Amino acid sequence: MKRLSIVVIMAFSMLAMFAQEEAIRVDFTGKQPTIKDFLQAYVQSLPDINDLDECDVEGMQLLEDFRHAVLYQGEGIALEPSEKLDIDIKNGYVCYEQRHERELSRIEMCYWNESDGKHKLFACVRQSFDNGWYVAGQYDGMEFFRYNNATKTMKRISTEEIGVDAVSEESGNMGVLSSISLPRKGKDIEVTWWDKNGECGASPLKWNGHGFNF
C-alpha cells in the first residue's frame, strides 16, 4: 500500500485548554521512575471533572473512569466487570480497557529512555473501537511528554517534535484512518490502517532514540 502519514482523529481542544503548561512533577523512590510513577503523575495532573462545564464532562469521562480504576486497583478494590487495568512495571506499559456491548475504549501508556541519557519520552494514547473496528472517536487522541532526569519533571511536547504527525497527507488512499499500538515489548509503535472494509495494513513507527521515523 502507499506510504501515508499517520491519520489520528483527535479532539484535543478541550483537553489542551486544561492541560498543564507547567512541568508535571514525577515522584518516585529509587534511582529511576517506573511506568507506575508516570501513570500516577499523569492522572494527578488531570482536571477535576467536578470543575468542568457540562459540555466538557463527556470528553473527560473516560479519563475520569481511568483515574478511578487506578485508585481502586491501588487500594485492592475490584473494578467494574466492564473494566480491565494492566500495569506492567517490568515492561513499562499500561493498558486500560472499558467495554460497553460492542464498543471498546482503550488507554495505553509507555515510556522510552532517550539516547542522550538525560530524558525519557512518555506517551498516553486513547482510542475507540466498535465491534473490533477502529472508529476514531470524538475524544480519541495521543499525548507525549518529555521527562527530564535532572528536574524529575515532564512537559507536554508536540507530535511533530518527535516525528509523529497528526495530519493526513493527500494521496490515493484518502479516507484511510490509522490506529496505533504502543509497545509492551520492543521500542517501535505499530500503526494499523483502516478503510471502510476494516483493517487494511500495518507499518511501524521506528524509535530512533529521540523520536520516531516512519
pLDDT at site 48:
76
pLDDT at site 132:
92
The span from the CA of 120 to the CA of 41, in Å, is 14
Contacts of 138 (CB under 8 A, 6+ apart): 11, 59
pLDDT at site 199:
73
pLDDT at site 203:
85
The span from the CA of 163 to the CA of 168, in Å, is 14
Q: Where are the domains of the chain?
A: 13-158
pLDDT at site 166:
40
pLDDT at site 52:
60
Q: What is the pLDDT along the chain (214 residues), one digit of tens a residue?
A: 333 333 333 334 344 444 446 899 999 999 999 999 999 999 999 887 766 655 565 668 899 999 999 999 999 999 999 999 999 999 999 999 999 999 999 999 999 999 999 999 999 999 999 999 999 888 888 899 999 999 999 999 998 899 887 433 422 344 678 888 999 999 999 988 888 887 778 888 899 999 998 7
